[in-house]
Amino acid sequence: MISKRFRAYRVERTDQGQYVRGIQALTTDDLPDGEVLVRVHYSSLNYKDALSATGSKGVTRNYPHTPGIDCAGIVEESTSSDWQVGDEVVVTSYDLGVDTDGGFAGYIRVPAEWVLHCPRGLTLRQAMICGTAGFTAALCMQALENHGIRPDRGEVLVTGATGGVGSMAVSLLSAQGYRVVAATGKRDAADWLRSLGAQEILARAALLDTSARPLLKERWAAAIDTVGGDILTTVLKTMSYGGTVACCGMVASTELHATVFPFILRAVSLLGVDSQSTPRALRESIWTKLAGICRPEPLDAIATEITLDQVDEHIQHLLKAEVRGRILLNPQVY
């Protein structure tokens, strides 16, 4: 097969343990083994990508490396009978962008079992506006629904509401008829969050309880927490009886300092949500819902499109919590 040239956003580790990032010219011969070669039309910037690009050993151990935990594109080569040249596909999760070169490049090569058809009803661009963040938000919503949460149960809180998962969760929940309260530390984002469907905006400081009380006044029927730490602790204290929290993030902290009282006195449930190792059948079901009955709107309002040359700048913004919504990467634009 003829080698193809492309650009990639690469991260290298120096002998002194520093991480150097920049655009490099590669060929498809540089890619790892796999049955399917995909030309990347779009990827997206996620918090996990920022950790990978800045040397988090909990994410990526092997360098040089191309981050990018998701992509949407078109199959250009395949040795698998499941995939044909010209197929429009999405690849998210598994080891993509972790220790396997990811979507911040013109091409990826991956195992056939990592690949899914781009769901009918979504363009490649729309699929990556959803991306891993939308997929995770939809998993959280389904986890709540599987636990009996319905719109008539009461208010649903979304923490970190201006982030990728948070903004997608606000849009998804609102589209399904839930009364959504969006918590954020960005005062200037209120109108934007309302445009996504939030019916009330809550200051992040209101979810930072400094008292030693194990329980606070009941309010939320359910919550999607994207930040963890002390905010999650406060959310648990304020859940209504029988309430359910879907937890999927750790941008504030990986630690949780809580008592058992919300669980044994209010029958609160804390559900962990993982997108990386989601079984294939559930993965296909969630993508079908994102393209159909759970399609978030307005998608374009959630996304800012960038090129490879702008990735480093936006990684810094993301690490400083200065990003609103989804960052969509088009690696084909020079």
* Candidate CATH numbers 3.40.50.300, 3.90.1170.40, 3.40.50.720, 3.40.50.10860; the one for domain 131-272: 3.40.50.720
Superfamily of domain 5-118+299-329: Medium-chain alcohol dehydrogenases, catalytic domain (3.90.180.10)
pLDDT of 297 reads: 66
Ramachandran quadrant class, 21 (left: phi over 0; alpha: psi -120 to 50; beta: rest):
beta
Report the C-alpha gap between 316 and 38 in whole angstroms.
28
pLDDT of 17 reads: 85
| Banded pLDDT at 56 (limits 50, 70, 90) | confident
| Domain ranges for the chain | 5-118+299-329, 131-272
Is residue 142's pLDDT more than 90?
Answer: yes
Is residue 212's pLDDT more than 90?
Answer: no
Q: Where are the beta strands (DSSP E) in 132-263?
A: 156-158, 180-184, 200-203, 220-225, 239-247
Helical segments of 29-154, H only: 47-53, 124-146
Which tokens go with 278?
């989601």
Question: Is-contact 225 273, C-beta < 8 A?
Answer: no
DSSP 65: B
**Which range, of 120-124, 160-164, 308-312, 319-323, averages the lowest pLDDT?**
319-323
The per-residue pLDDT for range 82-101, each reduced to its tens digit, is 999 999 999 998 999 999 99
User: CB-hemisphere CA count at 13 Å for 225?
Assistant: 29
Task: Let me know how many helices (H) and strands (E) the chain has, helices first.
Answer: 9, 15
| Helix 124-146 with 164-175: angle, nearest 10 deg | 70
| Banded pLDDT at 296 (limits 50, 70, 90) | low
Please list the helix, strand and coil fractions of the chain in percent, rounded to the nearest 5, in that order: 30, 30, 40
